[in-house]
Structure 1
């Protein structure tokens, strides 16, 4: 039974008490020294200093008065021959000064802290000094008036008084010495008292030190040593150790915690012992259940000691009959001397283990090829040899599978590397099925009903050229599938069907290697696709540059052609043969201008002025035209929401999108088919929008047909310019390329979904706006009234045409072939221009530089840029953001409308190219 610990002060309290007593001890000693001895010594020193100071001052005055009396005695007869005579005035001044000083000394003596007897004596001495000074002054006056006898009498009396003062000072000095001796006596008394207190407090200090040493040993050192010894015993394995808890202080609580920890360690050790015993039993069962065949032989006799169940069943023995088995009888195919050498090598521990191939003799006498591992083990009881046998057929299968895969890669590496997945997968699935002795193997791209067969092999019928439904194959209970990553957009799946047995770990590893080869083929295919896309993009960019350059020059020619045709027809009678002929020519030129506009849109080099377009009203206005385009043999279905809002597009671009998409849908749909046009507004994050979810409000246009659809190769090239599947003469291949350019320029997206026999769906999403369309504020009926317009154009025919158009409306035109010539023409004119009309690209000084120079000379002058095409890289910005733009070719009405807009509003907000 553990004794109950005694109640005692805690170590913290004991240390606090010891510290308090130590501080009190030191404080008392300090008080004795500081409060008794030091004040007494200071008082003795102060009193002695004061007495001596006053005595010395009086004595000094007395000595100086005696000197003055001697000087005065030399002034009274009889005179000594040859002796120097002092100056009477100087003597008088000295005596007066000493008299004043005596008065100060008397006042100081009265205020002094010296004893009263000493003070009275010093005061008497000071009074006598004053009397001496008075007598000396009287003697000096007597000498001055020639009363010699009176002077001698005064000097005699001063001598008598001086002797009296000297005696008084002697008495004062004796009194001072007596006072100092008394103070020293009192100081010695205090020192003796302090000495007695010091001895007493020294005894108290020794007592306290003894008590502290005793408490430290009993309450700190001994318990700590006992716990240290206990911890050493616990560390040595003695978990029955227990520390005695004598006091209920901090060390007592620590001892209880140590005892509790020892109890926990004992319980854990017992639990660990039980767990190890259980683990040994479980390990024995696991060893017995192991798939490998494990034998344990005695190293000396080579007789079997133990064999697990796998070894017994593999050789056909039971638990009792296998005990008579010997190592020499078990192994076949190894010469006896070779076996002896192996056993000796293992027993000498020169080799930790030996691997070899041999045959094991079964109980019925048959032989089985195996891979063996022999190793020795030694403990205190015995020396044994452990033999682990593994069926060699597994390793042979691994080697065979690895050889089949290496052979495939050597022969079909080019097909895998060039990305031709169809030609690569046909031998791959055949090799996989044959290597695994499977009933079926195939690869599909996609998921669900849209999964397409790439290659398949049936063990009974060979390669299958026709497609097979993936869901039908996966429904087989024996199907094993693994997912492949075909490309970032879709996945693929490899399916193997083997109905006779499952798959070993080696076979699953082989399937993973096959899947890796298939993935590499898909990666090569994706790389080829990206390379082709890059080539097409480069080709398209080259075509765009060519188309932009051709369209620029062609627009200049069309501007001159259309302008002159318009001017000529204005002078002809409507309906006359010449008017009709010119109208046909004008119509052809307009068609050429439309074709040029398509080229520029495709090349993304057309600078357009966008505006807010109400989608629903525009579709309603275009419905009749679209139905005529579709024709009576096909049905056009319109599903348009009434509140679509607006989008920002160039003039006529919405109609161009609808016409191009509807015409393509009509051409792909057989008579009796349906073309559907749907339009709806999507809000940000609309869950009904499908993928991708819109991040901002947008308008969605969908054109869907029930036509023949497109295969994968056609889909990849559908937006490529000049690519068409139509017959020669039925299409230019620019329609969808133009749609793609319009949508991307507007910040939208266009997607196409199609499959052979399933029709085609084009989906366009354009950012929605809140603007409302407003008609142009310029009426086109502006008149110049003699105002000056500066025109800069490097093409002579267009310069002349624009000048003629402006002059016809009353403007006075100053023209130049470039910016330099235009500035020269302006400098030669007396009137400043009200408008600048300039081409963008000109030699020497271009249109943008000319406009900035004009703004410097004529602040705020309106600017109208004109060009056949202008890349956004040369568009004016900053101080020219308010400039307007007109695209070539243009008519007189178009030009006059833009001039009217600029002149009616000097700084129109937001006007200019966008």
Structure 2
């Protein structure tokens, strides 16, 4: 027996002699090799038939291997405990043991580094004493959720630093029983960087907007000054009393043509701004594209082959057909320039597709019709593709284009509830894809258009003119009177309703501007329709966000600038030639 264990082993002898069973462990030293072995010795009394103690029995087991395993386990536990303690002490993140009651059981030294609080001051106190007041609810909610769910919980909140300022912490928690284990990463710097980045991006966007506005303003001023130069010079010559009739006719034609060009320019601008009053109608894209393909042959020239890939079944959309065809022409003109007048232009139609994410906008699963135009041209450089839809941005030579073609495509697509996407690479051509919401069939209210056909003048029909602009009001009444109508002019909707009175006051039609202070023209027309269902109303506007968003509301619509012939034609149509002296 090992000398150090003899006293402990023999101390069990009195208990054995008293008749108890007792187990004791000790070491022995083997005499042959001096090896130390662990022995577990269980002693028990042996009694005779009368119950008297006669002998002591014992069973000795060699438990050396068991002791070795236990010692190895204890060493591993000690090592893991030391490792855990090192992680606990040295972690740069907040480590927390907290009860489901919100009271901290233990926190690591990082609390002093990150939040300035001594760990000893934190333990035993509720999180509510340290959390930022505005984040109390979110923290209690997260703790409640963690206490009832063993899955990992993640959330963010702010804790109060010792100096009184907030610090953002990103937490991850796990629960065992009624104890929540959490670690929190300080993300205040990341939050501040994100805010700074957002502010920088917003400043960049504002700068880009100002640049775009400056470019837009300069382009509009340039083009309109050119148009006004033609008009002013023509008017100066028309004032000459000795001007020959042929030259007078030439200058009058120049003024009329220039007005048409100005109207087209403003139409393109309004289309880009999504403020044009579109004449929505439902139509079959397949049929329209077949007709457009023939037109594109003429637009692109003989050296460009136009190929169509269209489905057999019809595919209906609801949009402004004229603006749609204009968008295709604008895209084909750009394709012709990109191909230098020679190549292949492929027109495709896919129906019932989803709209993908375009320029950061979320995708839309609703069924769309995708009209794509692919050219074999030079492609678009990466530093240019992001600007091609900006108004007046063009890579063409001076005098070769206004830079409004693709802006019209963009504005038309957006205002129609769709979008336009572009895929291009230098030397590999470009594909423009126009997405328009698909409908089941031709349905819904159709806006009636003003035909420029010739029409006779009025025969004394009474027209109530509603126009807040003095110059336009005087000119409109003068035109109507010259055409043979009797006119009454109201400067606003209130005056107009007063002139109409309770019975319409014998007026045969109302001709009203849309954009007016107070009650606008659409609201006035609705009120007139309610009071006098049989009294026709004609609306006139060069721009109106109401018309752009909602259409003509079932009323006749005359776009500014309008001609005397167009005005007379529409008044004759709505009055049916009735009225007169």
- Under a length normalisation based on structure 1, what TM-score does the superposition of the two structures give? 0.35
CA gap 1:695/1:708 in 2 versus in 1, 3 angstroms: same
- 1:723-775 Cα deviation digits (max 9, x unpaired): 44444544443322221211122222322222233221111232344228998
User: Of residues 300, 303, 323 in structure 2, which corresponds to 1:630?
Assistant: 300
Task: Report deviation, 1:666.
Answer: 1.8
| Structure 1 residue aligned with 2:477 | 803
Task: Report deviation, 1:705.
Answer: 1.2
| Structure 2 residue aligned with 1:751 | 421
Between Structure 1 and Structure 2, how many residues are aligned?
395
Task: Report deviation, 1:542.
Answer: 8.2
2:215 & 2:541 partners in 1: Cα distance? 16
1:609 & 1:642 partners in 2: Cα distance? 27
Which structure 2 residues correspond to residues 521-670 of structure 1 after superposition, within 5 A? 531=201, 535=205, 539=209, 543=213, 576-616=246-286, 618-623=288-293, 625-640=295-310, 644-650=314-320, 652-670=322-340
State the secondary structure of the residue aligned to 1:676. Answer: strand
Q: Is the 8 A contact 1:788 1:831 kept in 2?
A: no
Structure number with the higher helix fraction is: 1
1:836 & 1:684 partners in 2: Cα distance? 45
Which structure 2 residues correspond to residues 357-436 of structure 1 after superposition, within 5 A? none
State the secondary structure of the residue aligned to 2:318. Answer: strand
| Structure 1 residue aligned with 2:571 | 899
Q: Is the 8 A contact 1:544 1:602 kept in 2?
A: no
Q: Is the 8 A contact 1:665 1:707 kept in 2?
A: yes
State the secondary structure of the residue aligned to 2:436. Answer: strand
CA gap 1:873/1:848 in 2 versus in 1, 3 angstroms: closer
Q: Is the 8 A contact 1:814 1:822 kept in 2?
A: no
State the secondary structure of the residue aligned to 2:465. Answer: strand
State the secondary structure of the residue aligned to 2:427. Answer: coil
Task: Report deviation, 1:662.
Answer: 0.8
State the secondary structure of the residue aligned to 1:652. Answer: helix
Task: Report deviation, 1:869.
Answer: 0.4
State the secondary structure of the residue aligned to 1:785. Answer: coil
Which structure 2 residues correspond to residues 776-815 of structure 1 after superposition, within 5 A? 781=455, 784-815=458-489
CA gap 1:701/1:846 in 2 versus in 1, 3 angstroms: closer
- 1:263-285 Cα deviation digits (max 9, x unpaired): xxxxxxxxxxxxxxxxxxxxxxx
Task: Report deviation, 1:654.
Answer: 1.8
Q: Is the 8 A contact 1:862 1:903 kept in 2?
A: yes
| Structure 1 residue aligned with 2:161 | none
CA gap 1:647/1:577 in 2 versus in 1, 3 angstroms: farther
2:427 & 2:460 partners in 1: Cα distance? 68
State the secondary structure of the residue aligned to 1:814. Answer: strand
| Structure 1 residue aligned with 2:48 | none
Q: Is the 8 A contact 1:743 1:750 kept in 2?
A: yes
| Structure 2 residue aligned with 1:771 | 442
| Structure 2 residue aligned with 1:333 | none
State the secondary structure of the residue aligned to 1:717. Answer: coil
1:885 paired to 2:557: yes
| Structure 1 residue aligned with 2:541 | 867
Task: Report deviation, 1:605.
Answer: 1.6
User: Of residues 834, 837, 846 in structure 1, which corresponds to 2:511?
Assistant: 837
1:668 & 1:596 partners in 2: Cα distance? 26
2:248 & 2:571 partners in 1: Cα distance? 31
Q: Is the 8 A contact 1:791 1:803 kept in 2?
A: yes
| Structure 1 residue aligned with 2:101 | none
| Structure 1 residue aligned with 2:95 | none
CA gap 1:650/1:641 in 2 versus in 1, 3 angstroms: same
1:613 & 1:766 partners in 2: Cα distance? 12
Task: Report deviation, 1:589.
Answer: 1.7
| Structure 2 residue aligned with 1:426 | none
Task: Report deviation, 1:642.
Answer: 6.6
State the secondary structure of the residue aligned to 2:431. Answer: strand
CA gap 1:711/1:588 in 2 versus in 1, 3 angstroms: same
2:366 & 2:289 partners in 1: Cα distance? 25
- 1:593-639 Cα deviation digits (max 9, x unpaired): 11111111111122233233454554455445533432344433334
| Structure 2 residue aligned with 1:701 | 371
Structure number with the higher strand fraction is: 2
Which structure 2 residues correspond to residues 73-84 of structure 1 after superposition, within 5 A? none
Larger Rg: 1
Q: Is the 8 A contact 2:346 2:375 kept in 1?
A: yes
Q: Is the 8 A contact 2:297 2:304 kept in 1?
A: no
1:726 & 1:610 partners in 2: Cα distance? 32
1:661 & 1:707 partners in 2: Cα distance? 13
Q: Is the 8 A contact 1:544 1:604 kept in 2?
A: no
CA gap 1:792/1:849 in 2 versus in 1, 3 angstroms: same
State the secondary structure of the residue aligned to 1:886. Answer: strand
Q: Is the 8 A contact 2:268 2:407 kept in 1?
A: no
State the secondary structure of the residue aligned to 1:865. Answer: strand
| Structure 2 residue aligned with 1:85 | none
Q: Is the 8 A contact 2:353 2:369 kept in 1?
A: no
Task: Report deviation, 1:591.
Answer: 1.1
1:644 & 1:533 partners in 2: Cα distance? 47
Task: Report deviation, 1:640.
Answer: 4.3
User: Of residues 375, 383, 390 in structure 2, which corresponds to 1:720?
Assistant: 390
CA gap 1:892/1:650 in 2 versus in 1, 3 angstroms: farther
1:612 & 1:905 partners in 2: Cα distance? 31
Task: Report deviation, 1:713.
Answer: 4.2
2:499 & 2:479 partners in 1: Cα distance? 19
Runs of at least 5 residues in structure 2 that lack an aligned partner in the other structure: 1-25, 36-63, 77-82, 84-189, 356-361
Relative contact order (C-alpha < 8 Å, sep 6+): which is higher? 2
CA gap 1:785/1:380 in 2 versus in 1, 3 angstroms: closer
State the secondary structure of the residue aligned to 1:594. Answer: helix
Q: Is the 8 A contact 1:702 1:761 kept in 2?
A: yes
- 1:291-339 Cα deviation digits (max 9, x unpaired): xxxxxxxx999x9xxxxxxxxxxxxxxxxxxx99xxxxxxxxxxxxxxx
